[in-house]
Amino acid sequence: MKRRIIMKKSLSVFLCLLLTVGASFANGSKDAASAKFSKDPDFANGKFGTTRSITVEVFDRSNDGGTNPENNFYTDYIKAGMLKEHNVKVTFKRVPRWTEPDAMNNLLAAGTAPDLCLTYSMPTINTYAQMGGVLDIAPYLDTYKSDLSNLYNTVGDLNINFARDPVKNVVYAISAVRYVNARTATFVREDWLKKLNIAEPTNSAEFEAMLVAFKDNASTLLGKDAAKMIPFSMGVDVGWEGGLILDQFIPNAISDKDWWINGFCDRHTLQPGIKEGVRLLNKWYNLGLIWKDFPLYPVGDKTAANNAKAGYVGAFIGNWDGPYRDGDNGIVGGLHKVVGPDANYIAVDTFKNDAGIYRKYQSSPLDRFLFLPSTNKQPLASMMYLDFISKPEVRKFLQIGEEGVTHITQANGAIKAKAAKAPKIMNSSNNIDLTMTINGLDVGDPSLNALSLALGYAGVDPKYIQKSYLLQKVGARYDPIFTVGTVASESGQGPQFQVKRDTLLAQAVVSKPVDFDATWDNGMKAILASGVQKIIDERAALYEKYYGAKK
Amino acid sequence: MITSKESKIGDRFLIVFCFLVIVVCFVPILHIAARSLSSMESLIRNDVMLLPIGFNIDAYKYVLADGKFTWALFWTAILTIIGTGVSLTMTTMAAYPLTFDHLKGRKFFNTVIIFTMYFNAGTIPMYLLLKDLSMLDKPVVLIVPYCLSVFNMIIMRSFLNSIPDSMRESAEIDGAGPIRVLISIYLPLSTPVLATLALFYAVGRWNGFSDALMYVNNRHYYPIQLLLYNLIMATSNIDVVQQEGGSLPGLSESLKAAAIMFATIPILCVYPFLQKYFIAGATLGAEKG
Amino acid sequence: MPKKKQDLGKYLSRYWTLYLLLFLPVLYFFIFKYIPMTYIQIAFKKYSIIKNVWTMPWADNHGMEYFIQAFSNRDFIFALRNTVMLNFLDLVVGFPAPILLALLLNELKFKNLKKFTQTVAYMPHFLSWIIISGLALQLFAPNTGMINGLINRMGFPSVPFMNEPVHWVVTYVLMGIWQSVGWNTIIYLAAIAGISPELYEAAAIDGAGRIRRMWHVTLPGIRPTIVVLLILNLGRILGSEFDRPFVLGNPLVKDVCNVISVFVYNSGIRGLQFSLTTAVGLFQSVVCVIFLFIADFLAKRFGERGIV
């Protein structure tokens, strides 16, 4: 009994001690204060009186043979320029590209995030903003507009104001501009078409016939590897790698309004008509035309790409320049090595919608989102940085580098990229990690841009790039942007929803045809019930509120 | 008397069984080793099984030449050695006093310590604590926060308890204080458990990467598994693939395999090295009788 | 009273070094285990990245907002069910496995074979799950996997190791065993090494065959170790490792492969909902403690020395 009392006493003393110490620990870290806007008297004609210091986020891709992302030939160029033109000292802070969301969380939580950050995920910024972790840059964009002319000219008004809250007039992020607005394309094996004497398919029925032909002629095409034939390869991300097949069932007459209301899903899964597209995939899967094991391999797994490189795959859907990237290590590069120089993937337009158009639902010109964490003490200097790297001569240099070293100017003026080694190697293609405000090559002239683009792929005949790029413009329809501020019900939904969506699509495709309707309908119901219907409803309401009057 | 027939059948069964275990456990490592020595074409075609096809050591040459692998290996080795030393010391300092039945407050200490094994605050609170202690992004954060495992401490305590009190009592009669007793009597007899725990701690530190993932940003402090994770798992990162859509540059297949071998082989060699200390336990059993 | 104080004084002057030894470990636990517990209050608050833990605002519904969110989320309930089911199977099948292996290895006469097998047996433990998942797919894929290739050649239809829920669970548990059994035998082998050889001789003289010796000498000899490890593992019934279900899972078996850790990863961490994550973690820990005390009580009932 006495022992018990002693135990109890010592435990309670312990707990009191714990709470006191705990409280004192926490008091050590202060709440981050958010700066209030006021015009900076030290700033005139784009320059600061006293030298300011900022840190800028840069991705670390850990690529083979790459240079230190924080300290290399190109960062030196930027640092020198910033010091000279704006009297701002720049330090780069590296963030691992692959674990970027985790790293960003850590940095923000620790209060050590760089002054200028970028991310692909707007919901992330919104969530941080709701917690008070992001600075409102509307005052800087408005007050200093004349000093930010390069920024405005490069990205355009739309990208600056797309996230401006119509009521509170706050801007938490601006967007870089996407110069090459292309998404996915359908690729087929050019050499197989020749061998079997088939013309490029121009509609869905011909495409299916082509796949059947691949399957039936497996021994002709692959010899002893006939069992490894994959007429159509797909990945577990069915919305992306089967996207064009699904999109053809979306009614052509769909309005921008409805498109946007259902637009939470970037794979278009919430749009009308998708179910029929999945039904078609289901039919093809059960006919043995689709890679049987596709749902087992996680996103990003190399097996599908390796199958393509090894020559087993007849057709697939992917990024418009996907097979042509990475030179020797890319799909076409591998194909040339394993199969031969005649083997190639060519982009084709095959899937017509109900109006007979090869519809491509392209993204809006929004690209990466740039924001300033609330720990930023030099917001104006940060904005000047964005202006500096949007300067045409600066970004052109960053994108193409030095003549003869990282590019060779062709007779017609087009730029052909050249792979360099350290110290002038570009850690990301066209130094996209450093050119924060632009994605896509811009040498100043649109026609030269197109020509240069085609030359940018090592080991690939430019005609393939050109064809794929041209097809991207055929029937293109771009995502509309409606500024409604934050959609509250979207917070926290992103990753959960993606998982559910991918699961539903995969399960529906592999199900037996008799089970298809039940699988799809039940799955869709569950998704909508888990909070997605709320998002759709909220979007509809917000649209009515801000755009309902205008038609 | 044991019938020789019975033991012969038993022996044969055991040998077959061992053979199966060896195959099942060794084959995967063999497969990865084969991949690391094969040509890229054969890997793309997925032809490699147990033997390398298109034998070449390019991948290893690359790994050894690339500073970041060799540095990470060296750094992880240092962390492991220091970490294991710290952990063993802490574990002994905690376990030994708790073997004294008459220790005042023993129940209190036991409860307080064991409770932490079942109720832990979670990753986020730990992260916030380390942030408040300014330990983030410093090497010490990879050694201290998880240096003492209650599980291992219980093992050590059980072991120490099994050493008969008579040995301790005779030393105490001779006037030795508890620490003298620890050093002169308990530690020499504890080589099996120290070796076992050293192995556990060493492997835990060598293979561990989730703490570094959360607490360290500076790439020079990455243990080798985290480096590996970044290079291999990275290209499967869901978010990145969706943003940059589908095809990412990654390590070539043979390089991946070579990196895995590079990170795994060193620690595989630790157990055979420690095995001789395990044998000491057998003699302890004899002494106990 | 004074006598007691005198006794205490004498005791401390003799054994003060023990407390000295304990000082550092206890400090460690205090700082790194108990202080973080004060941060658990996040589970009841609205997490804000820029606010201090003590100044964050309380969550709705008297702070229970996130618990309510978790339990009303159908996915979480499924994750809970899956976690218990998979852990239970791991326990039932995976707990005896290393014991069995240790017993069998112990019987081996050839020391070199025994050493070699031991060394090889723990090798899979060093492969991270990311690597293993790649291997698993190569082996078990229904159409392109090696094993099904062999099965097909023998004339049988493919076995859906990874794409049917029941098969997947079996594969999952077996892979868990494969990865950890060799490693877990280490403790048991060390314990077996501590059994006096005289006991074996005595049993042999009494006419006990091999199996009977195992049953009557070896097993009882390591019984304390088994009990301790069993108690420790029982408490983990709700715990959830992340790597194995995450990498072995795929959309076709979502109903069984989603466990709490994956749920937390998708909803909490990737979705930036830290309060939810902490709330779920708190729930898991509380259940762990309950199980610990139950298991410890049962052990003591059966005459073994518990761990509390």
Residues A96, B219: C-beta atoms closer than 8 Å: yes
pLDDT grade for A5, boundaries at 50, 70 and 90: low
Can you tell me whether residue A133 is helix, strand or coil? coil
Nearest CA in chain A to C149: A227
Tell me the pLDDT tens digit for each residue of A422-439: 788 888 878 889 999 998
- CA-based nearest residue to A198, from A173, A178, A217: A217
Helix orientation angle between B253-268 and B224-232, rounded to the nearest 10 degrees: 160
How many CA atoms, within 13 angstroms, populate the side-chain half-sphere of residue C156? 9
CA atoms A420, A425, A428, A434: torsion sign: negative
Task: Work out the minimum CA distance from A225 to partner chain B, whole angstroms.
Answer: 10
- CA-based nearest residue to A200, from A315, A305, A289, A280: A315
Residues C144, A297: C-beta atoms closer than 8 Å: no
Residues in chain A closer than 8 A to C250 (CB atoms): 236, 295-298, 506
Could you tell me if A352 and B280 are in contact, meaning their C-beta atoms sit under 8 angstroms apart?
no
Report the distance separating Cα C153 and Cα C183, nearest Å: 35
Tell me the pLDDT tens digit for each residue of C36-63: 888 888 888 888 777 777 778 888 777 7
Structurally, what CATH architecture does the domain formed by A184-362+480-547 represent?
3-Layer(aba) Sandwich (3.40)
How many CA atoms, within 13 angstroms, populate the side-chain half-sphere of residue A123? 21
Q: What is the per-residue pLDDT for C115?
A: 81
Number of domain units in chain C: 2
Same domain, C105 and C229: yes
Parallel, antiparallel, or unpaired for β A407-409 and A415-417?
A: antiparallel
Could you tell me if A497 and A265 are in contact, meaning their C-beta atoms sit under 8 angstroms apart?
yes
- Tokens (6 digits) for A345: 């993937």
Mean pLDDT of C194-208: 82
Q: What is the per-residue pLDDT for A391?
A: 93
pLDDT grade for A518, boundaries at 50, 70 and 90: very high
Mean pLDDT of C196-200: 82
- Tokens (6 digits) for B65: 């030449």
Q: What angle do CA A487, A493, A497 make, to 5 degrees?
A: 125
> Bridge partners of A232?
A290, A315
Residues A7, B108: C-beta atoms closer than 8 Å: yes
Could you tell me if B129 and C35 are in contact, meaning their C-beta atoms sit under 8 angstroms apart?
yes
Could you tell me if A94 and A70 are in contact, meaning their C-beta atoms sit under 8 angstroms apart?
yes
Task: Count interface pairs A-B at CB distance under 8 A.
Answer: 126
Residues in chain C closer than 8 A to A108 (CB atoms): 49
Looking at per-residue confidence, does C97 or C13 come out higher? C97
Contact of B175 with chain C, judged by CB distance below 8 Å, is answered with no
Q: A2-181+367-395 domain in CATH 3.40.190.10? A: yes
Residues A96, B230: C-beta atoms closer than 8 Å: yes
Residues in chain A closer than 8 A to C56 (CB atoms): none
Residues C193, B285: C-beta atoms closer than 8 Å: yes
Residues in chain A closer than 8 A to C59 (CB atoms): none
Taking a contact as any Cβ pair under 8 Å apart, which residues of chain A between 41 and 70 contact chain C? none
Same domain, C18 and C145: no
Report the distance separating Cα A56 and Cα C306, nearest Å: 56
The number of beta carbons lying within 10 Å of the beta carbon of residue C3 is 7
> Bridge partners of A348?
A186
Q: What is the DSSP code (8-state) at residue B223?
A: -
How many CA atoms, within 13 angstroms, populate the side-chain half-sphere of residue B35? 27
User: What percentage of chain C reaches a pLDDT higher than 90?
Assistant: 11
pLDDT at B285 over 60: no
pLDDT grade for A17, boundaries at 50, 70 and 90: low
Q: What is the per-residue pLDDT for A381?
A: 93
Buried b / exposed e along A474-502 (16+ C-beta atoms within 10 A): ebebebebbebbbbebbbbbbbbbbbbbb
Q: How far is CA A310 from CA A303, A468, C41, in A?
A: 10, 22, 55
Residue A231 phi/psi, 5-degree rounding, is -60, -50
Contact of B106 with chain C, judged by CB distance below 8 Å, is answered with no
Residues B97, C33: C-beta atoms closer than 8 Å: no
B neighbour chains, 3+ CB pairs within 8 Å: A, C
Return the HEC string of A155-200.
HHHHHHHCCCCCCCCCCCCEEEEECCCCCEEEEEEHHHHHHHCCCC
In this predicted structure, which of A9-23, A62-76, B24-38 has the lowest mean pLDDT?
A9-23
- CA-based nearest residue to C240, from C269, C261, C258, C267: C261
Report the distance separating Cα A105 and Cα C272, nearest Å: 8
- CA-based nearest residue to A461, from A341, A308, A318: A341
Residues in chain C closer than 8 A to B207 (CB atoms): 126, 128
Is residue A423 reached through a cis peptide bond, with omega within 30 degrees of 0 on the bond before it? yes
Is residue C56 included in any domain, yes or no?
no
Is residue C47 included in any domain, yes or no?
no
C4, C21, C114, C214, best to mutate vs chain B, most B CBs in 10 Å:
C21
Which of A29, A102, A526 has its CB closest to that of C52? A29
Residues in chain A closer than 8 A to B228 (CB atoms): none
Report the distance separating Cα A345 and Cα A343, nearest Å: 7
Contact of B187 with chain C, judged by CB distance below 8 Å, is answered with no
Contact residues for B224 (Cβ-Cβ < 8 A; gap 6+):
B69, B72, B73, B75, B76, B206, B262, B263
Q: What is the ipTM of this complex?
A: 0.81
C-alpha torsion angle, residues B73, B75, B81, B86 (rounded to 10)? -140
The runs of H, that is alpha helices, within C194-272 are 197-205, 210-213, 219-221, 223-234, 243-248, 254-257, 260-263
Is residue C210 included in any domain, yes or no?
yes
Residues A496, C271: C-beta atoms closer than 8 Å: yes
- Tokens (6 digits) for A78: 């930027």
Q: What is the DSSP code (8-state) at residue A416?
A: E
Contact of C74 with chain A, judged by CB distance below 8 Å, is answered with yes
Residue positions counted in chain B: 289
Report the distance separating Cα A89 and Cα A72, nearest Å: 16
B101, B129, B150, best to mutate vs chain C, most C CBs in 10 Å:
B129
Sheet of A366-371, strands arranged across = A117-119, A366-371, A174-178, A438-439
Q: Which residue is it, tokens 């004899």?
A: B286
Per-position DSSP letters for C269-289, written without gaps between them: ITTT-HHHHHHHHHHHHHHHH
Instruction: State the amino acid at position C294 in one-letter form.
Output: I
- CA-based nearest residue to C83, from C269, C281, C229, C279: C281
Tell me the pLDDT tens digit for each residue of A78-93: 999 999 999 999 999 9
Q: What is the per-residue pLDDT for A19?
A: 63
Report the distance separating Cα A313 and Cα A105, nearest Å: 40
Domain boundaries along the sequence of chain A: 2-181+367-395, 184-362+480-547
Could you tell me if A62 and A427 are in contact, meaning their C-beta atoms sit under 8 angstroms apart?
no
Tell me the pLDDT tens digit for each residue of B168-218: 888 888 877 788 888 888 888 888 788 888 888 988 888 887 788 778 877
Nearest CA in chain C to B141: C32
In this predicted structure, which of B1-5, B81-85, C187-191, C197-201 has the lowest mean pLDDT?
B1-5
Tell me the pLDDT tens digit for each residue of A189-238: 999 999 999 999 999 999 999 999 999 999 999 988 888 899 999 998 99
Report the distance separating Cα B131 and Cα B119, nearest Å: 21
> Bridge partners of A361?
A477
Same domain, C22 and C77: no
C-alpha torsion angle, residues A106, A112, A116, A121 (rounded to 10)? 10
- CATH assignment of B63-288, given 3.40.50.300, 1.10.3470.10, 3.30.465.10, 1.10.3720.10? 1.10.3720.10
pLDDT at C287 over 60: yes
> Bridge partners of A362?
A478
Task: Work out the minimum CA distance from C18 to partner chain A, whole angstroms.
Answer: 19
Nearest CA in chain A to B62: A64
Residues C117, B109: C-beta atoms closer than 8 Å: no
Residue positions counted in chain A: 551
Note down the domain range covering C15: 2-33
Report the distance separating Cα A391 and Cα A396, nearest Å: 8
Report the distance separating Cα B22 and Cα B139, nearest Å: 38
Nearest CA in chain C to B265: C126
Residues B235, A98: C-beta atoms closer than 8 Å: yes
Contact of A71 with chain C, judged by CB distance below 8 Å, is answered with no
Can you tell me whether residue A247 is helix, strand or coil? helix
Report the distance separating Cα C12 and Cα A338, nearest Å: 78
Contact of B126 with chain C, judged by CB distance below 8 Å, is answered with yes
Longest dimension (CA), chain B: 76
Residues C267, A495: C-beta atoms closer than 8 Å: yes
Nearest CA in chain B to A97: B240
- CA-based nearest residue to A433, from A145, A33, A94, A115: A94
Report the distance separating Cα B174 and Cα A113, nearest Å: 62
pLDDT grade for C209, boundaries at 50, 70 and 90: confident
Report the distance separating Cα B131 and Cα C43, nearest Å: 18
Contact residues for C166 (Cβ-Cβ < 8 A; gap 6+):
none
Report the CATH number that the domain containing residue C229 is assigned in CATH. Answer: 1.10.3720.10
Contact of A492 with chain C, judged by CB distance below 8 Å, is answered with yes
Residues in chain A closer than 8 A to C273 (CB atoms): 492
Q: What is the mean pLDDT of chain A?
A: 87
Report the distance separating Cα A215 and Cα C261, nearest Å: 42
Residue A232 phi/psi, 5-degree rounding, is -130, 120
Q: What is the per-residue pLDDT for B2?
A: 47
Mean pLDDT of B141-163: 87
pLDDT at A31 over 50: no
Q: What is the per-residue pLDDT for B42?
A: 83
Contact of A298 with chain C, judged by CB distance below 8 Å, is answered with yes
Parallel, antiparallel, or unpaired for β A88-96 and A52-60?
A: parallel
Tell me which H or E stretch contains A317.
strand A313-319
Parallel, antiparallel, or unpaired for β A174-178 and A366-371?
A: antiparallel
Kindly provide the residue ranges of all beta strands, DSSP E only, lying in C25-165, ordered along the sequence.
Answer: none
Contact of A327 with chain B, judged by CB distance below 8 Å, is answered with no
Task: Give Rg (Cα) of chain A.
Answer: 27
Domain boundaries along the sequence of chain B: 63-288
